[in-house]
Amino acid sequence: MGAYMQQLDPNRRSPETQTFDSALHSRLVGQEEAVAAVVDFYQVFRAGLNTPGRPVANLLFLGPTGSGKTRIVEAAAHILFGDPRAVIKVDCAEFQHSHEIAKLVGSPPGYLGHRETHPLITQETLSQYHTEELKLSFVLFDEIEKASDALWQLLLGILDKATLTLGDNRRVDLSQSVIFMTSNLGGTEISELMGGGMGFVQPADKTEDRLDDKINRTATQSARKKFSPEFINRIDKMVVFHPLRRDQLEKVLDIELEMVQKRVLDTARAQFVFRLTPEAREFLLAEGTDIKYGARHLKRAIERHLVYPLASLLATGQIQLGDVVMIDLEAGRNGLLFLRESGGALVPASGPALGAFAHVALASGGRPADLPAAISTADATARSAEARSAALPGPAAAGTRTRNSG
């Protein structure tokens, strides 16, 4: 009788990899190919099958500014190491001249001031976020196209042999590191493709699949023109980040609002919760949508139209501990209106966890969000009958002005 054969599934992910995947998706909108690439290298590393003598992975992220290239690295670091800054970041714009390479590897002995020039990448900095369970490091070369020839030569050795020789001849082992590289090459052409300018996009090319193919082709061709074949040959995965579309920016808005709410609840002055009407959300999206600048433009719009006014209201004592602030679009449709629902939420002085209040800030449709019983000291019905709304003036306005026009 023949041996029993069981079919195996190589696409199955381990529980810890599934957790990492879910957490990454919760912090990054779109860019499925990039998320899959990061999750794949993590599973290979956890299985112990990464190639010996090379970095765990060499990933090149291409695409326009504001599409999430740096964000995904910081999000992965936050999930795995508990700190989004647990990344050794090399800003290649600072290494456009050959002599500046000393800032990365340190000056050789004998040079004036060599003891004061500390290398950016050392074995100690690579291992500072290692734990007993996870000995992994992230190294990010940002805007790699701006690097000097001297940095290119160093990179070839790092990508191929996972070693870096410092100025004092010490060797740094990067075999337990993931090398991320980002580049905006092709970003201008991609933005024109999205806008249909300069005759790049014909009516037949407007379908999403055709547009995605053109974006991929534009970015990869720009990279192959700029980078040498020996550099391209050392890259494990080249990922193209696509400009964020309207529905994706709506999800980014939800994530950013949740982060603002967390900042509010972490403040020592007065914890409060806020919620936006659909009109206010639409205003922030309209102000923050720009194909050229991506999600960064939306973040700037949130800071300008939401965070700054809230900070002013908080600093002047117009918002108190436990208030609920409702944010609407003012009648002139060129600014936001801030209303306080006094006694709307009771927040303990010790400061609540974000989970208890996040749904208030993210309530859609302008519908009141029920507050958790654990933080309420009165019956919801009775409180709503007693609640009074007071208009709050904008940060730069005096008297009784109630809008923020940015």
Residue pLDDT, tens place only, 197-234: 433 344 444 566 788 888 889 999 999 999 999 999 99
What span, in angstroms and rounded, lies between the C-alpha atoms of 72 and 134? 19
Strands (E) across 184-318 are located at 237-240, 273-276
Q: Who wins on pLDDT, 275 or 211?
A: 275
- Band (369; pLDDT cuts 50, 70, 90): very low
Considering the four listed CATH numbers 2.40.40.20, 3.40.50.2000, 1.10.8.60, 1.10.540.10, the one that applies to the domain covering 246-404 is 1.10.8.60
Q: Which of 14-28, 69-83, 309-323, 340-354 has the lowest mean pLDDT?
A: 340-354
Distance CA 86, CA 79 (A): 10
Q: Average pLDDT, stretch 384-394?
A: 41
Which amino acid is residue 406, in one-letter code? Answer: G
Q: What is the pLDDT of residues 288-299, one digit of tens each?
A: 887 666 777 888
Whole-model pTM: value is 0.75
Rounded to whole angstroms, what are the CA distances from 225 to 93, 145, 152, 193, 201?
19, 11, 15, 19, 22
> Is the CB of residue 128 less than 8 Å from the CB of residue 83?
no
* Distance, CA of 284 to CA of 333 (rounded, Å): 11
Q: Does position 380 have pLDDT exceeding 60, yes or no?
A: no
Q: Could you tell me the residue ranges of all domains in the chain? A: 15-240, 246-404
- Asked if pLDDT for residue 103 goes beyond 90, the answer is no
Collapsed DSSP state (helix, strand, coil) of residue 309? helix
Q: Do residues 121 and 65 touch, judged by C-beta distance below 8 A? A: no
pLDDT of residue 324: 92
Tell whether the model's pLDDT for residue 33 goes beyond 80.
yes
How far separated are the first and last CA of the chain, in Å rounded?
79
Distances in Å between the Cα of 181 and the Cα atoms of 40, 201, 227 are: 17, 29, 12
DSSP string, 359-386: HHHT--TTPPPPPPGGG-SS-HHHHHHH
Question: What average pLDDT is seen over the chain?
Answer: 79
Which range among 153-162, 301-310, 352-361 shows the weakest confidence by mean pLDDT? 352-361
Core vs surface per residue 9-25: b (16+ CB within 10 A) or e = eeeeeeeebeebbeebe
Residue 83 burial (CB count, 10 A): 11
Structure tokens, 120:
């950016």
Average pLDDT of 322-335? 87
Which CATH code fits 15-240? 3.40.50.300
